[in-house]
Amino acid sequence: MHRTRIKICGLTREEDVDAAVAAGADAVGFVMYAPSPRSVSAERAAELARRLPPFVTPVLLFVNADAPEIIAACARVPMALLQFHGDETPETCLRAGRPFLRAARIPLEENPAEGSAAFDLVKYAEDFKAAQAILLDAHVDGFGGGGKTFNWSLLPPSVNAHLVL
């Protein structure tokens, strides 16, 4: 039987990391994407990750980062799980050589914009089958953290047969 795991992401302060741990978070995410207001440096992520007790996983979130940036951050937070939240391909994610999560950007509305194809979550999960998990997030301008929810009824009825949510 599976259980829901909780990841609190975008933390930048010690007291927030401590509060997430006290609340029972399974993982704490640190944003490595400079345009985000919740971005931290690899050094800061390492400082914050050192506060985590055993069995609480640090997660480094990247958006279209280059290999040297990923390698440098992983050197600072060696036990981190990676999360890719940009336009990374399955091959790019695998090249990191670390366990990873892949964010799927779910449209906010049912009808895709003219000329664009509907998002196929089952195909996306198959494409990223090497991921430890697929994280579902609302597709907003920019990347993640928009505070929006998507319409869960837009997920295909067969999603539970293919994914662990």
Catalytic residues: 9, 137
Alpha carbon distance 108, 23 (integer Å): 29
Alpha carbon distance 99, 132 (integer Å): 6
DSSP 39: B
In sequence order, what E strands does the chain have? 7-9, 27-31, 57-62, 81-84, 100-106, 133-138
Alpha carbon distance 97, 48 (integer Å): 23
Question: From residue 96, how far is each of 32, 43, 67, 132 by CA, in Å?
Answer: 15, 19, 7, 14
For the packed helices 67-76 and 42-49, what is the interaxial angle rounded to 10 degrees?
30
